[in-house]
């Protein structure tokens, strides 16, 4: 009995030492960020590699985009991660903030239809399904865009997220763009008043619900769907092509008409090969880096890190964890944003 106590005491002591030890090794040169959970698997991998390559530790608290932006506004962090760009009002309430896109993702449509290997959907069909206007998979409107596919005569069960989510925002933002009716009656948001369907918590919840229910269809974050190898529908994009979501077709969505500050939703992209329900995720930092007694070294460390995130080493990692890399155009724009960082009005480098 005594021995057990001794072992327990040793373990406790070791556990108590752990945070101390990690604190000790973290020098003041480390970077701190907070924000979006969506790109977390990619960030974890990239930040880890960055530490190995340069010795600079990056701590990232994945507490949601909103929390990240608040932390940046309160100057608790060096940078924030966000799935949504700051709107004009938010931009006005803070000193100039640069948006650095790091990778892309999408909302893909997973389905459970026995015997159906390939499903094509148009924006109109998708909107009608989620408005509750289409009841059956055998509906002639669906058959019309799926020639040669034996659609079963079962009910359609749309599935959506019960928790507030950036994926829901991207999905509903897309529907608001392609359907006047959706824009009028439902709109875009992280949580919505859904006209039809059933709800489940998180990507795994939605995926599980679809797997359990014949006739179910639902939107899932691409990073989750790709790693789980779930059957996905082809979406008709703005150019009229039916496109399967893939890291290539998602990257293709961020081409063409992108504003200089990269603050843009890339849903319903005009690009021919683009998957239409795609989205960017950003790292946010202050353009003017001399605030709250920050040093030039800190500014340089942050700038180096941001350059590295959009560089070839980090971008090559995106596909490993099922995100889409930045297109060359996009990477060039991101680079220009980072180069615009200043310290006391002078360029950082």
Partner 1 sequence: MFRGLLYGACVLVLLLCAAMVYSLVSGSWQAFGQFGFFRFLFSAEWDPTVGKEEYGAWAFVTGTLYTSFLALVLCIPFSLPVALFTGEYFKKTRIAAVIGSIVDLLAGIPSIVYGLWGFYTLCPLMKSWGLSDQGFGVLTSSIVLAIMIIPYASSLSAEFISMVPNELKEGAYSLGATRLEVVRTVVFPVAGSGIFAGYVLALGRALGETMAVTMLIGNTIQIPRSLGDTGNTMASVIANQFGEASGLKLSSLIAIGLLLFIITAVINFLGKLIMKRQRGR
Of 121 and 216, CB closest to partner 1: 216
Structure tokens at 53: 């390559």
Q: Which is nearer to partner 1, 212 or 295 (CB)?
A: 212
φ/ψ region of 152 (left if φ > 0, alpha if ψ in -120 to 50, else beta) reads: beta
Nearer Cβ to partner 1 (169/308) = 169
Indicate the SS3 state at residue 74: coil
Residue 163 Cβ vs partner 1, minimum distance, rounded to whole Å: 5
Q: Which is nearer to partner 1, 85 or 194 (CB)?
A: 194
Which of 254, 255, 257, 301 lies closest to 282, judged by CA?
A: 254
3 state DSSP class of 170:
helix
For residue 76, the tally of other CB atoms under 10 A from its CB is 12
CB of residue 64 to partner 1, shortest distance in Å: 6
Which of 136, 198, 265, 339 is close enough to bind partner 1 by CB under 8 A?
198
Residue 165 binds to partner 1 (criterion: CB under 8 A):
yes
Sole residue written with tokens 């009229």? 240
Segment lying near partner 1 (by CB under 8 A), choices 160-168, 240-248, 257-265, 307-315: 160-168
Contact between 191 and partner 1 per CB under 8 A: yes
The sign of the CA dihedral 146, 147, 150, 155 is positive
281 binds partner 1 (CB under 8 A): no
The minimum distance between CB 321 and partner 1, in angstroms, equals: 23
Nearest to 126 by CA among 109, 138, 139: 109
Rounded Cα distance, 277 and 106, in Å: 6
Strands 234-236 and 346-347: unpaired
Strands 234-236 and 278-286: unpaired
Instruction: Give the count of beta carbons closer than 10 Å to the beta carbon of residue 65.
Output: 25
**Taking contact as CB under 8 A, which single stretch among the options 100-108, 114-122, 137-145, 161-169 is the one that binds partner 1?**
161-169
Question: What DSSP assignment string belongs to 264-306?
Answer: ---TT---TT--SSEEEEEEEEESB---TT--HHHHHHHHHHH
221 binds partner 1 (CB under 8 A): no
Interaction with partner 1 in 58-97: which residues (CB under 8 A)? 64, 66
In angstroms, give the least distance from the CB of 219 to partner 1: 15
194 lies in the site for partner 1, by CB under 8 A: yes
Q: How far is the CB of 201 from partner 1 (least distance, A)?
A: 6
Q: Rank residues 118 and 163 by Cβ distance to partner 1 and give the closer one.
A: 163
Q: In whole angstroms, how close is the CB of 294 to partner 1 at the nearest point?
A: 29
Q: For residue 95, list its beta bridge partners.
A: none
Residue 189 is a binding residue for partner 1 (CB under 8 A) = yes
Binding-residue total with partner 1 (CB under 8 A): 27
Q: Among 54, 213, 273, 342, which residue sits at the site for partner 1 (rule: CB under 8 A)?
A: 213
Residue selected from 187, 311, 328, 347 as contacting partner 1 according to rule CB under 8 A: 187
> Are residues 282 and 266 in contact, defined by beta-carbon separation less than 8 angstroms?
no
β-bridge pairing 120-121 and 234-236: parallel
- Give the E-state strand segments of the chain in sequence order: 31-35, 58-62, 79-82, 97-111, 120-121, 157-161, 198-200, 216-221, 234-236, 242-243, 278-286, 342-343, 346-347
173 is an interface residue for partner 1 by CB under 8 A: no
Which of 284, 283, 287, 274 is CA-nearest to residue 324?
274
Least Å distance between CB 50 and partner 1?
28
Scanning 23-31, 130-138, 187-195, 283-291 for contacts with partner 1 by CB under 8 A, the matching segment is: 187-195
Does 163 bind partner 1 (CB under 8 A)? Our answer is yes
**Contacting range for partner 1; rule: CB under 8 A; set: 22-30, 198-206, 225-233, 323-331:** 198-206
| Binding interface with partner 1 (CB under 8 A) | 64, 66, 155, 157, 162-165, 186-187, 189-194, 197-201, 205, 208-209, 212-213, 216
């Amino acid at each position: 009995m005594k021995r057990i106590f001794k072992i327990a005491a040793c373990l406790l002591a070791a556990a108590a030492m752990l945070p101390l030890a990690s604190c000790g090794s973290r020098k003041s040169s480390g970077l701190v960020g907070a924000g979006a959970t969506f790109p977390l698997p990619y960030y974890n991998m990239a930040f880890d590699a960055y530490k190995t390559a340069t010795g600079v530790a990056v701590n990232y608290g994945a507490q949601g985009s909103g929390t990240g932006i608040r932390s940046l506004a309160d100057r608790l962090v060096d940078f924030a991660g966000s799935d949504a760009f700051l709107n004009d009002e938010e931009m006005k309430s803070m000193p100039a903030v640069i948006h650095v896109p790091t990778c892309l993702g999408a909302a893909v449509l997973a389905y459970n239809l026995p015997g159906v290997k390939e499903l094509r959907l148009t924006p109109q069909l998708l909107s009608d399904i989620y408005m509750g206007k289409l009841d059956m998979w055998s509906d002639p409107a669906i058959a019309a865009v799926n020639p040669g596919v034996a659609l079963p005569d079962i009910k359609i069960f749309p599935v959506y997220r019960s928790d507030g989510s950036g994926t829901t925002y991207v999905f509903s933002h897309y529907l608001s763009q392609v359907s006047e009716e959706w824009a009028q009656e439902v709109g875009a948001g992280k949580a919505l008043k859904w006209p039809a369907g059933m709800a489940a918590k998180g990507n795994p919840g939605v995926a599980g619900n679809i797997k359990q229910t014949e006739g179910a269809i639902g939107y899932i974050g691409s990073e989750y769907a790709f790693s789980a190898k779930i059957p996905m529908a082809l979406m008709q994009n703005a150019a009229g092509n039916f496109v399967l979501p893939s890291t290539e077709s998602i990257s293709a969505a961020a081409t063409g008409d992108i504003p200089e500050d990269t603050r843009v939703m890339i849903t319903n992209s005009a690009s021919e090969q683009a998957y239409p329900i795609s989205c960017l995720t950003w790292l946010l930092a202050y353009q003017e880096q001399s605030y709250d007694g920050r040093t030039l070294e800190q500014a340089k460390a942050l700038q180096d890190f941001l350059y590295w995130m959009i560089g070839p080493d980090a971008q090559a990692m995106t596909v490993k964890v099922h995100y889409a890399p930045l297109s060359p155009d996009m990477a060039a724009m991101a680079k220009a944003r980072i180069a615009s960082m200043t310290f006391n009005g002078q360029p950082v480098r």
